[in-house]
């Protein structure tokens, strides 16, 4: 059962309180220090942190965030809990946090995760509907301390995500694949007019993917097509010929790809075009739609002068995406473990 109250940790020398917009600079200093030691695949700018805290009508930092601040005002630990609207199959509470390297192995991380889990249980219990609840935690496979922390808290491995890269320049680069569009389809650049049709196609395409839930219009526009790092000029949509529908209805979407340029992740000097989403509706799978879309994005990356292309994928993806990526020259760089903890509602 969800706890009726969630006590804030008590640690000598530290003040625990919610994060606010005024904390972003100090919070980012802590995140940079953590990234310097942990070398994650994904890094955060101050704007990214502001989005994590405030980027959505459902965000509530007063009740969904917690930071430990020392006597000098330095943020030394932080934790967020995010339950997004739109979940129907499973109500998911996503937990994200970190502890400054100078404050590790003092029990701070344990206290923080205990607070996150308790608050997450409350939020899951409060969510509408009767779907089961789950707490979700992502851990880099290399991080033995975080792995132990998650397992001690009762989390179990749900799946593995592979962070993959394909070189576009240099000795490791291979020739770009041809853009072979299947018969009956046409490939077009992404456009604002197609945006919601693509969102709906995404929700259908990912309905059979583990851990995926439908994306609302607000979520999609904030975190996908409207995100400041989205590169819609590198993004493409596969449309069904002759399926425009009546009265100006949007054409039928067979597949899509959405690309990004996360410059904060280019820490090794390699500029990378990132495929954030690639999906094919089930009726159009096994026809080469995904291959054509990804080939189009690879060519767009190369034309823009990118050194590499990157993406991540569930190792057990039911659509066979991993095999496609490997055939197109992608190779794993890092492994992220997705942990889950089922909770009653």
Instruction: With beta carbons less than 8 A apart as the criterion, state whether 343 and 205 touch.
Output: no
Task: Give the pLDDT confidence score for residue 98 in this predicted structure.
Answer: 97
Kindly give the interhelix angle for 108-126 and 144-152, rounded to the nearest 10 degrees. 50
119-161, pLDDT tens digit by residue?
Answer: 999 999 999 989 999 999 999 999 999 999 999 999 999 999 9
- Same structural domain for residues 100 and 186? no
149 located within any domain: yes
40 located within any domain: yes
What's the mean pLDDT in 25-43? 97
- Same structural domain for residues 185 and 287? yes
Strand partners, 331: 165
188 located within any domain: yes
Q: Is the dihedral of CA 337, 135, 258, 274 positive or negative?
A: negative
- Same structural domain for residues 56 and 90? yes
5 located within any domain: no
- Same structural domain for residues 28 and 172? no
What's the mean pLDDT in 270-290? 96
Q: How far, in Å, CA of 292 to CA of 303, rounded?
A: 17
- Same structural domain for residues 140 and 170? no
183-228, pLDDT tens digit by residue?
Answer: 999 999 999 999 999 999 999 999 988 888 999 999 999 999 999 9
For position 103, which CATH number holds? 3.40.630.30
Task: Give the pLDDT confidence score for residue 211 in this predicted structure.
Answer: 80
Percent of the chain with pLDDT over 90: 91
339 located within any domain: no
Task: Give the pLDDT confidence score for residue 1 in this predicted structure.
Answer: 79
Domain span at 212:
163-334
- With 90 as the cut, is the pLDDT of residue 21 above it? yes
- With 70 as the cut, is the pLDDT of residue 8 above it? yes
180-195, pLDDT tens digit by residue?
Answer: 999 999 999 999 999 9
- With 70 as the cut, is the pLDDT of residue 248 above it? no
In angstroms, the Cα distances linking 138 to 40, 59, 98, 256 are: 11, 20, 12, 26
- With 70 as the cut, is the pLDDT of residue 164 above it? yes
3 located within any domain: no
Burial 40-57 (b: 16+ CB within 10 A, else e): bbbbbbeebbebbbebbe
- Same structural domain for residues 192 and 113? no
* Residue-averaged pLDDT of the chain: 95
| Residue 163: partners with Cβ closer than 8 Å, 6 or more residues away | 41, 310, 311, 312, 332, 333, 334, 335, 336
Other Cβ atoms within 10 Å of 18 Cβ, number: 15
Please say which residue of 154, 172, 191 terminates a domain.
154
- Same structural domain for residues 126 and 270? no
- Same structural domain for residues 329 and 196? yes
Domains identified in the chain, total number? 2
Instruction: With beta carbons less than 8 A apart as the criterion, state whether 191 and 253 touch.
Output: no
What's the mean pLDDT in 318-327? 88
Task: Give the pLDDT confidence score for residue 70 in this predicted structure.
Answer: 96
Task: Give the pLDDT confidence score for residue 243 in this predicted structure.
Answer: 63
102 located within any domain: yes
Instruction: With beta carbons less than 8 A apart as the criterion, state whether 114 and 79 touch.
Output: no
- With 80 as the cut, is the pLDDT of residue 333 above it? yes
- Same structural domain for residues 27 and 134? yes
- Same structural domain for residues 218 and 259? yes
Q: What is the pTM of this model?
A: 0.93
- Here the tokens at position 266 are 């280019």
Strand partners, 324: none
In the chain the first and final C-alpha atoms are separated, in Å, by 7
48-104, pLDDT tens digit by residue?
Answer: 999 999 999 999 999 999 999 999 999 999 999 999 998 999 999 999 999 999 999
- Same structural domain for residues 50 and 186? no
Please say which residue of 154, 184, 213 terminates a domain.
154
Q: How far, in Å, CA of 86 to CA of 324, rounded?
A: 30
- Same structural domain for residues 78 and 226? no
Please say which residue of 111, 130, 154 terminates a domain.
154
Percent of the chain with pLDDT over 70: 97
Query: Which of helix, strand or coil describes residue 222?
Result: helix
1 located within any domain: no
Of 286, 224, 296, give the one whose Cα is nearest residue 260: 224
């Amino acid at each position: 059962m969800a706890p009726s109250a969630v006590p804030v940790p008590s640690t000598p020398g530290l003040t625990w309180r919610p994060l606010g917009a005024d904390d972003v600079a100090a919070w980012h200093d802590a995140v940079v220090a953590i990234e310097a030691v942990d070398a994650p695949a994904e890094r955060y700018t101050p704007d990214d942190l502001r989005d994590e805290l405030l980027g959505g009508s459902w965000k509530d930092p007063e009740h969904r965030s917690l930071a430990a601040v020392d006597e000098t005002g330095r943020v030394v630990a932080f934790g967020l809990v995010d339950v997004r609207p739109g979940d129907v199959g499973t109500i998911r509470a996503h937990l994200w946090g970190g502890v400054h390297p100078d404050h590790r192995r003092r029990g701070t991380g344990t206290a923080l995760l205990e607070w996150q889990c308790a608050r997450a249980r409350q939020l899951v219990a409060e969510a509408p509907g009767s779907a089961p609840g789950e707490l979700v935690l992502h851990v880099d496979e290399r991080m033995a301390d975080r792995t132990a922390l998650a397992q001690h808290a009762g989390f179990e491995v749900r799946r593995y995500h592979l962070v993959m890269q394909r070189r576009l320049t240099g000795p490791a680069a291979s020739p770009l694949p041809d853009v072979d569009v299947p018969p009956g389809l046409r490939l077009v650049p992404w456009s604002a007019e197609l945006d919601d049709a693509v969102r709906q196609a995404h929700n259908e395409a990912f309905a059979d993917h583990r851990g995926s839930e439908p994306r609302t219009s607000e979520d999609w526009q904030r975190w996908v097509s409207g995100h400041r790092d989205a590169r819609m000029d590198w993004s493409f949509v596969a449309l069904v010929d002759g399926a425009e529908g009546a009265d100006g209805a949007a054409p039928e979407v067979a597949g899509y790809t959405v690309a990004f340029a996360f410059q904060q992740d280019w820490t090794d000097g390699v500029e990378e075009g990132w495929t954030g989403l690639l999906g094919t509706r089930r009726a159009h799978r096994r026809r080469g739609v995904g291959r054509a879309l990804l080939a189009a994005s690879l060519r767009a990356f190369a034309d823009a002068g990118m050194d590499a292309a990157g993406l991540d994928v569930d190792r057990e993806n039911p659509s066979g995406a991993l095999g496609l990526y490997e055939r197109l020259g992608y190779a794993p760089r890092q492994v992220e473990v997705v942990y889950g903890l089922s909770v009653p509602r």
